[in-house]
Amino acid sequence: MSLFNHRKKPSTDTIENGVKLVTAVEPKNVVSEQFRTVRTNIEFSSIDKEIKTLLFTSSDVSEGKSTVSANTAVTWAQQGKKVLFVDADLRRPTLHTTFGLTNTQGLSTILASNEDYHSIQTASAIENLTVITSGPIPPNPAELLNSNRMKNFLLSVENEYDLIVLDVPPLLSVTDTQVLAANVDGVVLVVRQGVAQRVAVKRSKELLNMVHANLLGYVLNDVAPKNGYGYGYGYEK
Protein backbone atom coordinates (compact mmCIF):
# COMPACT_ATOMS: atom_id res chain seq x y z
CA MET A 1 0.00 0.00 0.00
CA SER A 2 1.60 3.25 -0.99
CA LEU A 3 1.60 6.34 1.11
CA PHE A 4 -0.22 8.46 -1.40
CA ASN A 5 -2.40 5.94 -3.20
CA HIS A 6 -5.09 5.88 -0.61
CA ARG A 7 -5.51 9.48 0.40
CA LYS A 8 -9.15 9.43 1.26
CA LYS A 9 -10.98 11.78 3.60
CA PRO A 10 -8.50 12.70 6.35
CA SER A 11 -10.71 11.32 9.08
CA THR A 12 -10.53 7.82 7.63
CA ASP A 13 -6.74 7.84 7.37
CA THR A 14 -6.01 5.66 10.35
CA ILE A 15 -3.96 2.53 10.80
CA GLU A 16 -7.10 0.48 11.36
CA ASN A 17 -8.29 1.56 7.91
CA GLY A 18 -5.11 0.38 6.28
CA VAL A 19 -3.07 3.58 6.31
CA LYS A 20 0.28 2.41 7.57
CA LEU A 21 2.13 5.74 7.58
CA VAL A 22 -0.28 7.76 9.67
CA THR A 23 2.57 10.04 10.83
CA ALA A 24 3.20 11.10 7.24
CA VAL A 25 -0.40 11.30 6.06
CA GLU A 26 -1.91 12.81 9.20
CA PRO A 27 0.79 14.29 11.43
CA LYS A 28 -1.80 15.90 13.69
CA ASN A 29 -3.70 12.66 14.30
CA VAL A 30 -3.69 11.47 17.90
CA VAL A 31 -1.91 8.27 16.84
CA SER A 32 0.86 10.36 15.25
CA GLU A 33 1.19 12.16 18.58
CA GLN A 34 1.57 8.76 20.27
CA PHE A 35 4.38 7.90 17.88
CA ARG A 36 6.13 11.15 18.79
CA THR A 37 5.83 10.11 22.44
CA VAL A 38 7.39 6.75 21.56
CA ARG A 39 10.23 8.64 19.85
CA THR A 40 10.81 10.88 22.87
CA ASN A 41 10.71 7.99 25.32
CA ILE A 42 13.24 6.05 23.28
CA GLU A 43 15.52 9.10 23.32
CA PHE A 44 15.13 9.46 27.08
CA SER A 45 15.79 5.78 27.66
CA SER A 46 19.38 6.21 26.57
CA ILE A 47 20.67 9.52 27.79
CA ASP A 48 24.28 8.51 28.30
CA LYS A 49 24.82 6.54 25.12
CA GLU A 50 24.00 7.93 21.70
CA ILE A 51 21.80 5.54 19.76
CA LYS A 52 22.79 5.42 16.10
CA THR A 53 21.41 2.00 15.20
CA LEU A 54 18.06 0.84 16.53
CA LEU A 55 15.84 -2.14 15.83
CA PHE A 56 12.21 -2.83 16.57
CA THR A 57 11.24 -6.43 17.13
CA SER A 58 8.60 -8.53 18.90
CA SER A 59 8.15 -12.04 20.22
CA ASP A 60 5.78 -13.22 17.51
CA VAL A 61 4.45 -12.28 14.09
CA SER A 62 2.02 -9.43 13.43
CA GLU A 63 2.54 -7.55 16.68
CA GLY A 64 3.15 -4.30 14.79
CA LYS A 65 6.93 -4.14 14.30
CA SER A 66 6.76 -2.79 10.77
CA THR A 67 4.02 -0.27 11.56
CA VAL A 68 5.75 1.03 14.69
CA SER A 69 9.26 1.13 13.20
CA ALA A 70 8.12 2.92 10.02
CA ASN A 71 6.06 5.54 11.86
CA THR A 72 8.68 6.20 14.52
CA ALA A 73 11.34 6.52 11.79
CA VAL A 74 9.10 9.08 10.07
CA THR A 75 8.76 11.15 13.26
CA TRP A 76 12.56 11.30 13.60
CA ALA A 77 12.85 12.45 9.99
CA GLN A 78 10.15 15.06 10.60
CA GLN A 79 12.24 16.30 13.51
CA GLY A 80 15.09 16.96 11.08
CA LYS A 81 17.25 13.90 11.73
CA LYS A 82 18.83 12.24 8.71
CA VAL A 83 17.27 8.79 8.97
CA LEU A 84 17.88 5.53 7.11
CA PHE A 85 15.09 2.97 7.45
CA VAL A 86 16.14 -0.55 6.46
CA ASP A 87 13.94 -3.59 5.90
CA ALA A 88 16.03 -6.30 7.54
CA ASP A 89 13.05 -8.66 7.64
CA LEU A 90 14.27 -10.85 4.80
CA ARG A 91 11.38 -13.28 5.37
CA ARG A 92 8.18 -11.19 5.46
CA PRO A 93 9.30 -7.79 4.15
CA THR A 94 6.75 -4.96 3.95
CA LEU A 95 8.71 -1.69 3.71
CA HIS A 96 8.46 -1.56 -0.10
CA THR A 97 4.67 -1.94 0.05
CA THR A 98 4.31 0.66 2.80
CA PHE A 99 6.34 3.20 0.84
CA GLY A 100 5.05 2.17 -2.61
CA LEU A 101 8.46 1.12 -3.92
CA THR A 102 9.75 -1.71 -6.08
CA ASN A 103 11.79 -4.38 -4.36
CA THR A 104 13.99 -5.81 -7.07
CA GLN A 105 17.11 -4.73 -5.17
CA GLY A 106 17.66 -4.11 -1.49
CA LEU A 107 19.50 -5.27 1.62
CA SER A 108 19.75 -8.85 0.34
CA THR A 109 21.46 -7.53 -2.81
CA ILE A 110 23.93 -5.52 -0.72
CA LEU A 111 24.74 -8.57 1.42
CA ALA A 112 24.75 -11.28 -1.23
CA SER A 113 26.48 -9.36 -4.05
CA ASN A 114 28.55 -6.96 -1.95
CA GLU A 115 26.87 -4.12 -3.82
CA ASP A 116 27.59 -0.54 -2.65
CA TYR A 117 24.56 0.57 -0.63
CA HIS A 118 24.61 4.00 -2.30
CA SER A 119 23.31 2.46 -5.51
CA ILE A 120 20.56 0.59 -3.64
CA GLN A 121 19.23 3.11 -1.12
CA THR A 122 16.39 5.30 -2.27
CA ALA A 123 14.83 8.56 -1.16
CA SER A 124 11.33 8.20 0.26
CA ALA A 125 8.49 10.67 -0.20
CA ILE A 126 9.37 12.00 3.24
CA GLU A 127 12.08 14.61 3.65
CA ASN A 128 15.19 13.34 5.51
CA LEU A 129 14.07 9.72 5.22
CA THR A 130 16.04 7.35 3.00
CA VAL A 131 15.04 3.70 2.77
CA ILE A 132 16.54 0.37 1.79
CA THR A 133 13.98 -2.30 0.96
CA SER A 134 14.63 -5.99 1.70
CA GLY A 135 15.50 -6.98 -1.86
CA PRO A 136 14.62 -10.46 -3.13
CA ILE A 137 13.99 -12.98 -0.36
CA PRO A 138 17.19 -15.03 0.01
CA PRO A 139 17.39 -18.73 0.96
CA ASN A 140 19.72 -17.94 3.91
CA PRO A 141 18.52 -14.79 5.74
CA ALA A 142 20.16 -15.61 9.10
CA GLU A 143 23.52 -16.24 7.46
CA LEU A 144 23.36 -12.97 5.52
CA LEU A 145 22.34 -10.93 8.57
CA ASN A 146 25.08 -12.56 10.64
CA SER A 147 27.78 -11.85 8.06
CA ASN A 148 30.71 -9.46 8.26
CA ARG A 149 29.17 -7.67 5.29
CA MET A 150 26.18 -6.79 7.47
CA LYS A 151 28.45 -5.50 10.23
CA ASN A 152 30.43 -3.45 7.72
CA PHE A 153 27.23 -2.15 6.16
CA LEU A 154 26.04 -0.89 9.57
CA LEU A 155 29.41 0.75 10.25
CA SER A 156 29.35 2.53 6.88
CA VAL A 157 25.81 3.87 7.16
CA GLU A 158 26.48 5.09 10.71
CA ASN A 159 28.94 7.57 9.22
CA GLU A 160 26.37 8.95 6.83
CA TYR A 161 23.15 9.03 8.86
CA ASP A 162 22.08 10.37 12.25
CA LEU A 163 19.96 7.31 12.88
CA ILE A 164 19.47 3.88 11.29
CA VAL A 165 16.22 2.07 12.07
CA LEU A 166 15.86 -1.63 11.25
CA ASP A 167 12.64 -3.56 10.79
CA VAL A 168 13.35 -7.22 11.58
CA PRO A 169 11.57 -10.59 12.04
CA PRO A 170 10.11 -11.70 15.39
CA LEU A 171 12.53 -13.03 17.98
CA LEU A 172 11.04 -16.39 18.81
CA SER A 173 10.64 -17.96 15.39
CA VAL A 174 14.07 -17.39 13.80
CA THR A 175 17.62 -16.51 14.86
CA ASP A 176 17.98 -13.47 12.54
CA THR A 177 16.98 -10.91 15.13
CA GLN A 178 18.98 -12.21 18.06
CA VAL A 179 22.08 -11.95 15.91
CA LEU A 180 21.25 -8.43 14.76
CA ALA A 181 20.32 -7.29 18.28
CA ALA A 182 23.90 -7.85 19.34
CA ASN A 183 25.16 -5.54 16.60
CA VAL A 184 22.95 -2.49 17.13
CA ASP A 185 22.98 0.20 19.82
CA GLY A 186 19.41 -0.32 20.99
CA VAL A 187 16.46 -2.72 20.79
CA VAL A 188 12.79 -1.89 21.31
CA LEU A 189 10.30 -4.69 21.85
CA VAL A 190 6.83 -4.21 20.35
CA VAL A 191 4.21 -5.98 22.43
CA ARG A 192 0.69 -6.24 21.03
CA GLN A 193 -1.90 -6.17 23.77
CA GLY A 194 -4.17 -9.17 23.81
CA VAL A 195 -1.91 -11.05 21.41
CA ALA A 196 1.51 -11.31 23.05
CA GLN A 197 1.82 -14.00 25.71
CA ARG A 198 3.60 -13.08 28.93
CA VAL A 199 5.83 -16.16 28.65
CA ALA A 200 6.80 -15.23 25.09
CA VAL A 201 7.81 -11.71 26.11
CA LYS A 202 9.86 -13.18 28.97
CA ARG A 203 11.59 -15.58 26.59
CA SER A 204 12.33 -12.72 24.16
CA LYS A 205 13.94 -10.79 26.97
CA GLU A 206 16.09 -13.82 27.83
CA LEU A 207 17.19 -14.18 24.20
CA LEU A 208 18.17 -10.51 24.13
CA ASN A 209 20.04 -10.79 27.44
CA MET A 210 21.93 -13.79 26.11
CA VAL A 211 23.57 -11.65 23.42
CA HIS A 212 23.92 -8.62 25.74
CA ALA A 213 21.54 -6.58 23.64
CA ASN A 214 20.64 -3.13 24.92
CA LEU A 215 16.88 -3.41 25.50
CA LEU A 216 15.65 0.17 25.71
CA GLY A 217 12.00 -0.56 26.45
CA TYR A 218 8.66 -1.74 25.15
CA VAL A 219 6.09 -0.27 22.83
CA LEU A 220 2.65 -1.43 23.88
CA ASN A 221 0.74 -1.59 20.65
CA ASP A 222 -3.03 -1.57 20.27
CA VAL A 223 -3.55 -0.52 23.88
CA ALA A 224 -7.03 0.94 23.64
CA PRO A 225 -7.85 1.38 19.97
CA LYS A 226 -11.42 2.50 20.63
CA ASN A 227 -10.08 5.67 22.24
CA GLY A 228 -7.74 6.24 19.36
CA TYR A 229 -4.73 5.73 21.60
CA GLY A 230 -3.24 2.83 19.72
CA TYR A 231 0.27 3.18 21.03
CA GLY A 232 1.90 3.49 24.38
CA TYR A 233 5.40 3.16 25.64
CA GLY A 234 6.52 1.32 28.72
CA TYR A 235 9.86 0.88 30.36
CA GLU A 236 11.36 -2.41 31.33
CA LYS A 237 10.35 -3.42 34.82
Ligand X SMILES: Nc1ncnc2c1ncn2[C@@H]1O[C@H](COP(=O)(O)OP(=O)(O)OP(=O)(O)O)[C@@H](O)[C@H]1O
How many angstroms separate the Cα of 164 from the Cα of each of 89, 161, 197?
15, 7, 29
Q: Residue 212: which region, alpha, beta or left (left: phi > 0; alpha: psi -120 to 50)? A: left
**15, interface contact from Mg ion, ligand X, none, CB < 5-8 Å by kind:** ligand X
Q: Which amino acid is at 205?
A: K
Residues of this chain, 32-91, that bind ligand X according to CB under 6 A: 58, 61-67, 89
Shortest CB 159 distance to ligand X, Å: 28
**222, interface contact from Mg ion, ligand X, none, CB < 5-8 Å by kind:** ligand X
Residues of this chain, 110-139, that bind Mg ion according to CB under 5 A: none
Among 185, 196, 221, 232, indicate the residue that binds ligand X (CB under 6 A): 221
**225, interface contact from Mg ion, ligand X, none, CB < 5-8 Å by kind:** ligand X
Would you say 83 or 172 has its CB closer to ligand X?
Answer: 172
Among 3, 13, 15, 23, indicate the residue that binds ligand X (CB under 6 A): 15
Per DSSP, helices labelled H in 28-165 are 30-44, 65-78, 95-98, 107-113, 141-145, 148-160
Would you say 59 or 78 has its CB closer to ligand X?
Answer: 59
Q: How far apart, in whole angstroms, are the C-alpha atoms of residue 205 and residue 176?
A: 15
The two counts, helices (H) then strands (E), for the chain are 9, 8
Among 8, 16, 160, 235, indicate the residue that binds ligand X (CB under 6 A): 16
* Distance linking the first and last C-alpha atoms of the chain: 36
**DSSP letters spanning 80-110:** T--EEEEE--SSS--HHHHTT---SSSHHHH
**61, interface contact from Mg ion, ligand X, none, CB < 5-8 Å by kind:** ligand X
66 binds Mg ion (CB under 5 A): yes
- Binding positions for ligand X, rule: CB under 6 A: 15-16, 20, 58, 61-67, 89, 92, 94, 170, 221-222, 225, 230
